[in-house]
Amino acid sequence: MFRRGYYRPPDKIRGCFAGSGTLLNDPTMGPHVIKLTGKSDPRDVTVVYLGTASYDLIEKRENQTSWYSEQGCTVIALDVVLNAPKTSYMKECMEKADIVIVSGGNTYFAMRRWKHIGLDKMIKDACLGPRRVVMAGGSAGAICWFSGGHSDSNDPDSYKEAKLDPHGSDHGDIDDESDLHALASKHYEDDSVHQWDYIRANGLGFIPGLCCPHHDRIQSNGVLRATDFDQMMLRHPTEVGLCIDHNAAFLVEGNHFRVIFPEGQVGSVLSDESFSEERLGRPGVWVKEVTHGGKVVSARLCPEEGKLSDLLRMPIDIRQSKFHLAAAAKSNPEDGPLRDSYPGFSAKSFFGGKVTKEFLNFLAEMKEEEDEEEDEE
Express each pLDDT in 207-241 by its tens digit. Answer: 999 999 999 999 989 999 999 999 999 999 999 99
Q: Are 24 and 18 in contact (CB under 8 A)?
A: yes
Rounded to 5 degrees, what angle do the CA atoms 229, 153, 303 make? 40
Most distant CA atoms of the chain, gap in Å: 70
Question: What does DSSP assign to residue 177?
Answer: G
Question: What does DSSP assign to residue 273?
Answer: S
Name the pLDDT band for 361 (thresholds 50, 70, 90).
low
Least confident of 50-54, 118-122, 193-197: 193-197
> Has residue 174 got a pLDDT over 60?
yes
Are β-strands 285-291 and 74-77 bridged in parallel, bridged antiparallel, or unpaired?
unpaired
Burial of 263 by CB count in 10 Å (0-12 exposed, 13-18 middle, 19+ buried)? Answer: exposed
Q: According to the model, what pLDDT value does residue 1 have?
A: 35
Residues with Cβ within 8 Å of 194's Cβ and at least 6 positions away in sequence, in order, are 188, 220, 221, 222
Q: According to the model, what pLDDT value does residue 182 have?
A: 46
Name the pLDDT band for 194 (thresholds 50, 70, 90).
confident
Are β-strands 285-291 and 256-260 bridged in parallel, bridged antiparallel, or unpaired?
unpaired
Cα–Cα distance, 243 to 88 (Å, whole number): 37
Amino acid in the structure at residue 103: S
Cα–Cα distance, 80 to 72 (Å, whole number): 25
> Has residue 152 got a pLDDT over 90?
yes
Least confident of 177-181, 206-210, 240-244, 298-302: 177-181
* pLDDT, mean of residues 114-143: 97
Cα–Cα distance, 233 to 218 (Å, whole number): 18
pLDDT in tens, 15-36: 999 999 999 999 999 999 999 9
Predicted TM-score of the model (pTM) = 0.87
Q: According to the model, what pLDDT value does residue 367 have?
A: 64
> Has residue 173 got a pLDDT over 70?
no
> Has residue 138 got a pLDDT over 70?
yes
Name the pLDDT band for 359 (thresholds 50, 70, 90).
low
Name the pLDDT band for 317 (thresholds 50, 70, 90).
confident
